[in-house]
Amino acid sequence: MRFVKFCIVGLLNTFAGLAVIYGAIRFGNVQYVIANVMGFAVGTIISFALNRSWTFEFKGSILHGALQWALVLAVAFTVNIFAVIVSHEYFGVDRYLSQALGVLAYTGLSFLGARFYVFRSAGI
């Protein structure tokens, strides 16, 4: 059930992040890369807060958890990019499908990192 909750949170933070990106570009005349950083930051904060409180019901330190969450996301994003590049450049996977493979890698690693590293005291 935690993985289902994790995926729901992922969808919510994705939509929120995209709303910030599109809103900043459309209504704030913000440069698209800066808008992307803003949207990613908002999505990351929402993801951490909801996964901490709802998905894993974690009661540990917010600051320590947030730093660990940032590390997990950095690793997951690195593996995501690696999966996208390797699958497309070296195995000839369609560039759109390779993005989906990257998302699968990112989601799987970020869930495992959340479950067994960031929020590990919750139900283990």
pLDDT at 124 over 50: no
CA dist 80 → 15, 34, 52, 122 (Å): 19, 21, 23, 26
Q: For all residues of the chain together, what is the average pLDDT?
A: 94
Amino acid at the residue 47: S
Percentage of residues of the chain with pLDDT beyond 90: 91
Write the pLDDT tens digit of every residue in 27-83: 999 999 899 999 999 999 999 999 999 999 999 999 999 999 999 999 999 999 999
What percentage of residues in the chain have a pLDDT greater than 70?
98
Instruction: Show Cβ contacts of residue 6 under 8 Å, excluding neighbours closer than 6 positions.
Output: 51, 55, 107, 111, 114
Question: Helix H segments across the chain?
Answer: 2-28, 32-50, 62-85, 95-113
Residue 121's pLDDT band (cuts 50, 70, 90): confident
Report whether pLDDT(6) > 80. Answer: yes
